[in-house]
Structures are given as C-alpha cells and as structure tokens.
Structure 1
Amino acid sequence: MFECADFFPVSLSGDTGLDNSAFGPNVKHVLKVSLDLTRYEYYNIGSYFPEARDKYVVGKGFVDGWNGLRFDYGNFYASKTFFDPSKNRRILWGWTNESDTAKDDVQKGWAGLQAIPRKVWLDPSGKQLLQWPIEEIETLRGQNVQLSNQELKSGEHIEVKGITAAQADVDITFSIPNLDKAEPFDPSWTNAQDLCGLKGSTVQGGVGSFGLLTLASEKLEEYTPVFFRVFTGLYKHVVLLCSDSGSSSLRKEGLYKPSFAGFVDVDLDDTYKISLRTLIDYSVVESFGAGGKTCITSRVYPLVAVFDDAHLFVFNNGTETITADVEAWSMAKPDQMNN
C-alpha cells in the first residue's frame, strides 16, 4: 500500500528550497512514497513535464522500487515536506514509531512521535538528497565539551563527559590515517541492514567498526552503537553506517530491535575523513552520516542507561587506529528554547 506520497522540486545548484510551483531546466523533482509492507520510505529523482499531461520521468540511474534511495534507513515513516518561504528552504517532517510492545504503548497513553525537522536539498552530485537538522535546533544547545585529536587504538573507547548524555547533540569528525587494512567487500552484500547484522559493532574489522556508543550504561552492559565500517570495493572504498539498537546484552522483552543500516556514498580516498552528527533524546537516536548523505533513526528503551545514568562513548573496534575530533552539547527541552 502506497502511503504519504510526496512530490516536490529541488534546485540543481545550492541548498535553497523551492516553492512547489517551480519547474524548468535548473530544477529536478523528487517523488517519495511510504510503503506499508516494509514500513520504509523510498524516493527517486527525475524530471517533471507539466505541459505533457503532468508527466514525471525517473532520472537515469535511479531505482523506482524497494531497492531505491531512502530518506532514512531506520525507524522513520510517513514523512512530508513543505517549503519555508521565510528562509527559502524545504523542511522534512518524519514520524518515528514505537518499537515497544502494544501493551506498553497502551500504558503510556501515546505511541509514536515526530523526529527532528530536517532541511532537505539536492547533493551537488545530483545522485541523492542531503538532510540536516534545521538550524533552530542549535538554540537548544547548552553545556559544551570538546575533545580534540583523540587517538583510538583497537578496542579502545573514550567517554564524552560533562554533558547530559541522555539528551545531547554530538558532532564528530573521524580521521582514518590508513585505509590499506580495510577488509574486502563481497559484491553479494547488497543489503546494508543484513550486512550490519553480520558485521556488528563488536566484530573486529580492519577499518572499523568505529563510532559512538549512545545511551550506554557505565559498564557497557547496554548501549546503542552508531558506527561506520569501511570495506575495499572494486573501484573505491565502500562505507557502511549502522545503528544497532539490538546489540546490548540487556534486552527488554517484546521490543523490535533490528540492525538499521545504509551505505554512504562518499570518497574516503580524497579526504581520509568522515563525519557523524547524532542527536540523542532519551528514546530516540537520530544520526546523520557524512554531512547528511545517510541518515538513520532508532527507537531505544534502555533499562539502566536512563537520565543521569546514561553515558556516551567514542569507540574503535577496528585494527587500524582512528582519530576523533568531538564536539558535544547538552540539549534543553523545546519549551526552554531561547526566543
């Protein structure tokens, strides 16, 4: 069943949003559908010809189906965009469902919530959309900590202290000095989610896994890792981003806790660096890899790592040393937003 269809224009140059009526040679269009069977959303990019009976033609190289691009590779559904004329941007609102049991949902008295609104625009390559939390979110930032040039050898993790780990905004740039030890990529690994389940955060690779342990208990009995893993492909390195809400040793019964994952279209041979921004809000972990190329939202229900008992770590389980530059903020509640 097709749900929550969306159709909107994007500019071929820059990140400026467009009014819905825009079309022409410098404009492409995005067609998105939410598919009830998978509970995921898929989009493609093409050309709209209003003079030809409202004809939409999917662009060359884009998949029109279940193997197509997605706004988010996690628990994110029923999204819609709108044009914001005050700041000339297109904003995406998405819904993140509960992963709890139906019984617990009834006891809570509510189920599901809106994810952080995102600005959406076309990547300069024209191959996909980019997404980033709207700038207003930054007004919620409070206490700030910075960790510069943190060297993480194989098996090491460093705690990010001085912020509220249960409600935080974390921005990291990882530097990878050596890509030579990246493990070979098997061409049969076409499903990122399956690959994340196979190569989880604790499975040692050459380059990765490395990333964040969010909503973690002090002794790491439970945590939700958000991490990268790098493989050597036929023509360039293949980058996987995962959010593995099912990896903790502590598990509440009846939860839907899959390994969410997506591939990241980035050329590491150019910069040897990759970024990760993650917004943590008690039961929601939203991650934006490589400047918003790949996004993953997870619902998490920690048993121990709640409120002041939640911790945040940067980690590396690859054999190759990784360097991290971290900046993190405590986040206030929306009703405490500065006007």
Structure 2
Amino acid sequence: MVGPLYYMGWYHLFYQYNPDSSVWGNITWGHAVSKDLIHWLYLPLAMVPDRWFDIGGVWTGSATLLPDGRIVMLYTGDMANSVQVQNLAYPANLSDPLLLDWVKYPDNPVIVPPAGIGYDEFRDPTTAWIGPNGTWRLLIGTKVNSTGMALIYETTNFTTYEAAPGVLHAVNGTGMWECVDFYPVSTNSSEGLETSVVGPGVKHVLKASLDDLKMDYYAIGTYDPVSDTWTPDDPEADVGIGLLVDYGRYYASKTFFDQNTGRRILWGWINETDTDYDDLAKGWASVQTIPRVVTFDNKTGSNILEWPVEEVESLRLDSTEFDDILVEAGSVVALNISSATQLDISVEFEIEGSDALEALEVPEAIIECATTQNRSTLGPFGLLVLADESLSELTPIYFHIAKSTNGSLTTLFCADETRSSKASEIFKKVYGGPVPVLNDEKFTMRLLVDHSIIESFAQGGRTVITSRVYPTEAIYGAAKLFLFNNATGVNVTASLEIWQMNSAFIHPFPLEELGGGRFSQK
C-alpha cells in the first residue's frame, strides 16, 4: 500500500488485484481522491505492470515529498521469475491536482537485490528521510534465513543508491519483513512529526508486516542517525515479538505525515474472511480501514495510540445516550436504537465494588483472549454488535480481566467472531490482546460498526481490533445492539453515546467535468 499525499485534497494510491486480468493476482495501482479522508472518489488506474521491470506486478511503494515540491515514488516491481526490484516513478504533471498520469523512470530498476538476499525477498521501500550528512535514507524489508530485517539505502537524487553498511534493525525468528514503516513520534506532544525529525523528545516507531503470520508488529525505540541503527526500548517487546498495530484482520499498514494538520495518519488493509470464489464472483476483495491518527501514549510510555481521524465524525447523524445502565452478572441488556448497522459507539464500563479486582481468585496459566463462554469472576463484559434478536448471530467486543499465576492482573481487549455468521465458509476467530488500564481509568471503548466491519478501540486506542464479519441474519433492520456481562461474580455499569452514521458515498470521480479528465502534460 502506498501512503497518501496531501495535494489539493487527499490523494491515495493503493495496489490492487486487477479483476480484468486473465490471471487473478496481476497487481496494479489504483488511486482515489478526497477532500476529507472519508468521501473518496475513484480515479482511473495510476500504474499497471507494462514494463520488463514490473511485468509481474506493480507492488507496494511509498511517496516522498521533496522540499522543492516534487514528488518521487519508489515501488517494488515484480520482474519475470519473481525477481523483486525497486523502481522510480513520478507525476507526469505536478499542476494536475489529481495526479492522474505517472511516468516510470526509463532506467529502472534503481535498486536490485544485494548479494545474500533472495530475489523474491526484497520489497516495499519506505518514505525517505534526510540524514545528518544531507543524504536521503529509506528502508527495504527482507530476511536472511529466519531473521527479518530492514536494510538501509542512501541517495542524493533518487536515481542512484548505495546500501548502507549493516542494517537498521533485525530480529531473529520473525521471518520476512514486508511493508516496513519507520517514523518519529513526539514524547511530549500530541502533534505528529515529519519523517526526518530527530532529537530530544523524539522516539521512533519501527513496524514490519510479518509475511509468515500476516500480522503487523511494531516497537518503540531510539534511532541513532549517525550509525543508522535503531534500538527498541524493551527488547522483550521487539518488532515481531511484542505489540501489534491491530490485533484483528489487518495487514500491510502504512503511515504518512500530513503537513497541513500536523498529524501522522495510518492506513491499514482489512483482508477478507470469505472464500476466493466469493471474491472472484463480486469482482473485488478487501477494504481500507478508516484512517487513524497515531500518537505516542505519554501515560504509559510504552505504546502508540491509534484513533479514527476526526473527519469521520462528519458522517454522524442522530445520537442516543444511555447513562449508568446496570448489567448484572450473567445478563444481556438490549439497547433500543433505530438501526444497528452503521454506528459510532463510545462506551464506559465500571465494575461495581471497590474491591472487585482483588476478588479474582482463580489464576490462569495462559493469559489470552478466549470465547465469551470462558467466564470468570470479572467477565468478560462488553457489547454484542451485529447481533440478531435471538442472538443466533453476534460479534462480542469485550474486556476480560485475568489473574496470572504470579498474582498480577492483566486486562485483555477481545473480539469473538466465532458466532458472527451462520455462513459455513467464513473464517472466524477470537482476536485480541492486552490493554493497559491505569488506576484512575474506567474501561472505555469506541466502536465503528459497519455492515461487515467493526473497528474497535480500547482505552483511547492503546489496543485496536479490526473485525471482518459476514452476518446472514443480523443484517439491515434485523441487526441489534446489546450490552452483556458474562462475569460470575460482579455487576458492571455502562454509559454510552451512540451515533447513527451516514454513508460515505464512494463512487467514481466525474472526469467529464474536467474536460475528459486529462491535464496537458509538460
């Protein structure tokens, strides 16, 4: 996936499977434009595999906006025999606000796999940043044996490159790193940082998509721009063995810096849970998440926060509030709202009784998300979304508090998709992971619910889960919303604000309004 650019509006390049190809899997670049990150208009294909250096597919890449206003794009081209190389492209006409036409550099490829790296294990260049010696740096993901790593390349002109000695970072046993991302975050401000920023009050996030697991892992650490190395703050939570960007059906994420609003914005890919046959029948597969703002969590100091961009609130319609709803142990409470298929939900839970956390007596040897039938003194408790009246279909989003054998408490944030659909060929799983809940905090979550997608954010975005579900009964007017508490020993209270959400009305751009939709090329 290619990071968006702010250029007279939001402009997003993305790779896609070409349904018009005789071979399913031929990858092209589509693109779309928006003025608010929510209402997108599709544009014609940006780049297709039509040259010897990308005949097998135009793969993941990243844009860099240069100080003089030029835009350069590096992308992975799939050559014959699955050889992966890095290619350069740039807009044909910078005065075209839609950037409809792209030129591939005639002397591509500009970077080829180095010695010792597999020809099919060298891909996905990042956005470039400026180093202390004035040269630009970028990363490319790869592996050596089972060690995943990010290689560094330097350039002054984006047409010639030199490999830096060593690697930025490597983690044994994590396998192939693809769609690598690397960016700074401020430790004392909620403002985003431009990609080249270093210095006091700055940490760097290193993220890799693990090809073996199809999960996006990240870690926070310190970047040394002189030695071009990055060191994780917590080696036990290194890339690939620690935190996930999203614990659900999510992959190939990419951030970019929006210089107009001072935000770092994250895009992610929601891959499918239905069959390839279904995807072929409908002619498309997979969607993008709602864009998210990324900041450093100053309260914990150990994770990032992800939160939906404020522009999504432009879709809000009528709202309904529920205050201090009692949800007794072992109960389900229906919430009376007009429609439950397009919602923005904010909810706070509070456990009754100040000594409730100490009442958890039975330790669990393995602390992980399980189905909602796995009950304990303190839960699970949460929401049932995309549920039908009889609860024959439902997707619980919930907190589960567990005590480990050493006596410590862990709060898990989970999504149970095992009963989300009666369709037999849908992939269903329980997703989730730990979420820090500080002593002065209530249990909070925000859910963006669509007809087949739920994006769930716990504790301000410390832990995030994306669910891709296909209900057969809980659809349209039959979809309902419930609170539930499967605890065996305590009651909880819940306060909610629920907004009905409008459609984003995504459709093709009316190119005829631009006199055919092509700007003259210089």
d(CA) in 2 for partners of 1:26 and 1:235?
Answer: 35
Residues 163, 329 of structure 1: 8 Å contact kept: no
- The count of residues paired between Structure 1 and Structure 2 equals 325
Matched, 1:305 2:477: no
Match of 2:359 among 177, 181, 187: 181
Q: Return closer, same or farther for 1:183/1:15 CA change in 2, 3 Å cut-off.
A: farther
Give the deviation of 1:189 after TM superposition: 1.5
Task: Report the 3-state secondary structure (helix = DSSP H, G, I; strand = E; otherwise coil) of the residue aligned with 1:208.
Answer: coil
Residues 363, 407 of structure 2: 8 Å contact kept: no
Match of 1:266 among 411, 433, 437: 437
d(CA) in 2 for partners of 1:6 and 1:101?
Answer: 30
Counterpart in the other structure of 2:504: 334
d(CA) in 2 for partners of 1:105 and 1:230?
Answer: 38
Counterpart in the other structure of 1:16: 191
Residues 279, 286 of structure 1: 8 Å contact kept: yes
Q: Return closer, same or farther for 1:272/1:15 CA change in 2, 3 Å cut-off.
A: closer
- For each residue in 1:37-64, what CA deviation from the matched residue of structure 2 results, as whole angstroms up to 9, or x when unmatched? 1110111111111122x22222234522
d(CA) in 2 for partners of 1:304 and 1:251?
Answer: 8
Counterpart in the other structure of 2:214: 39
The one-letter code matched in structure 2 to 1:283 is S
d(CA) in 2 for partners of 1:65 and 1:111?
Answer: 28
Counterpart in the other structure of 2:179: 4
Task: Report the 3-state secondary structure (helix = DSSP H, G, I; strand = E; otherwise coil) of the residue aligned with 2:505.
Answer: helix
Give the deviation of 1:157 after TM superposition: 1.7
Match of 1:110 among 284, 291, 295: 284
Counterpart in the other structure of 2:460: 291
- For each residue in 1:91-115, what CA deviation from the matched residue of structure 2 results, as whole angstroms up to 9, or x when unmatched? 0000000100111111111100001
- 1:219-234 to structure 2, matched below 5 A, reads 219-233=390-404, 234=406
- 1:171-250 to structure 2, matched below 5 A, reads 171-177=346-352, 178-186=356-364, 188-189=365-366, 192=368, 196-197=369-370, 200-233=371-404, 234=406, 236-248=408-420
Q: Return closer, same or farther for 1:317/1:82 CA change in 2, 3 Å cut-off.
A: same
Matched, 1:160 2:335: yes
- For each residue in 1:161-181, what CA deviation from the matched residue of structure 2 results, as whole angstroms up to 9, or x when unmatched? 224211101110001122233
Task: Report the 3-state secondary structure (helix = DSSP H, G, I; strand = E; otherwise coil) of the residue aligned with 1:180.
Answer: helix
The unaligned stretches of length 5 or more in structure 2 are 1-175, 507-522
d(CA) in 2 for partners of 1:329 and 1:210?
Answer: 21
- 1:71-150 to structure 2, matched below 5 A, reads 71-124=245-298, 125-150=300-325
Residues 185, 238 of structure 1: 8 Å contact kept: no
Deviates more, 1:155-164 or 1:81-90: 155-164
Residues 163, 328 of structure 1: 8 Å contact kept: no
The one-letter code matched in structure 1 to 2:366 is W
Give the deviation of 1:148 after TM superposition: 0.2
Residues 143, 163 of structure 1: 8 Å contact kept: no
d(CA) in 2 for partners of 1:272 and 1:117?
Answer: 26
Residues 217, 223 of structure 1: 8 Å contact kept: yes
Give the deviation of 1:272 after TM superposition: 6.2
Counterpart in the other structure of 2:242: 68
The one-letter code matched in structure 1 to 2:373 is T
Counterpart in the other structure of 2:113: none
Task: Report the 3-state secondary structure (helix = DSSP H, G, I; strand = E; otherwise coil) of the residue aligned with 2:380.
Answer: strand
Counterpart in the other structure of 1:57: 231
Give the deviation of 1:324 after TM superposition: 0.2
The unaligned stretches of length 5 or more in structure 1 are none
Give the deviation of 1:150 after TM superposition: 0.3
Deviates more, 1:157-166 or 1:212-221: 157-166
Of structures 1 and 2, the one scoring higher in RCO (CA 8 A, sep 6+) is 1
d(CA) in 2 for partners of 1:59 and 1:180?
Answer: 31
The one-letter code matched in structure 2 to 1:208 is G
d(CA) in 1 for partners of 2:423 and 2:288?
Answer: 23
What is the TM-score normalised by the length of structure 2?
0.60
Give the deviation of 1:335 after TM superposition: 3.0
What is the TM-score normalised by the length of structure 1?
0.92
Matched, 1:279 2:448: yes
Residues 392, 419 of structure 2: 8 Å contact kept: no
d(CA) in 2 for partners of 1:72 and 1:272?
Answer: 22
Give the deviation of 1:244 after TM superposition: 0.7
The one-letter code matched in structure 2 to 1:153 is E
Percent identity, please. Answer: 42
- For each residue in 1:45-85, what CA deviation from the matched residue of structure 2 results, as whole angstroms up to 9, or x when unmatched? 11111122x22222234522432111100101000001111
d(CA) in 1 for partners of 2:435 and 2:401?
Answer: 10
Q: Return closer, same or farther for 1:238/1:60 CA change in 2, 3 Å cut-off.
A: closer
Q: Return closer, same or farther for 1:87/1:185 CA change in 2, 3 Å cut-off.
A: farther
